[in-house]
């Protein structure tokens, strides 16, 4: 998985926050827009090509106010 591809998908709006992620972010006081900011400004810090649920990676990025956020990204195929 490449960071440029992730950024392109986020810019196109071609991404989805799972309910579990939204709930966990809410508990931590993280707004969904901050997740988007972190993805657009982040870098891959761990790659999991053999994840049993599909290729995924951990992205670390900063929000516009300088908050560090970690986001687990996964490839999703199909509807």
pLDDT in tens, 24-56: 999 999 999 999 999 999 999 999 999 888 899
Domain boundaries, the chain: 3-74
CA angle centred on 34, ends 13 and 15, rounded to 5°:
25
- Output the pLDDT for position 77: 62
DSSP state of 9: H
Q: Where are the alpha helices (DSSP H) in 13-76?
A: 19-27, 32-41
Q: What pTM, to 2 d.p., does this model score? A: 0.88
E strand spans, the chain:
43-48, 56-62, 68-74
Is 3 exposed, middle or buried, given 0-12, 13-18 or 19+ CB atoms closer than 10 A? middle
Which value, in Å, is the radius of gyration of the alpha carbons in the chain?
12
């Amino acid at each position: 998985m490449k960071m440029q591809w992730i950024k392109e998908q986020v810019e196109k709006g071609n991404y989805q926050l799972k309910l579990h992620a939204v709930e966990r972010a809410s508990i931590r006081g993280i707004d969904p827009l901050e997740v988007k900011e972190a993805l657009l400004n982040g870098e891959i810090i761990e790659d999991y090509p053999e994840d049993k649920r599909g290729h995924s990676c951990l992205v670390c990025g900063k929000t516009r106010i300088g908050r560090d956020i970690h986001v687990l990204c996964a490839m999703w195929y199909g509807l």
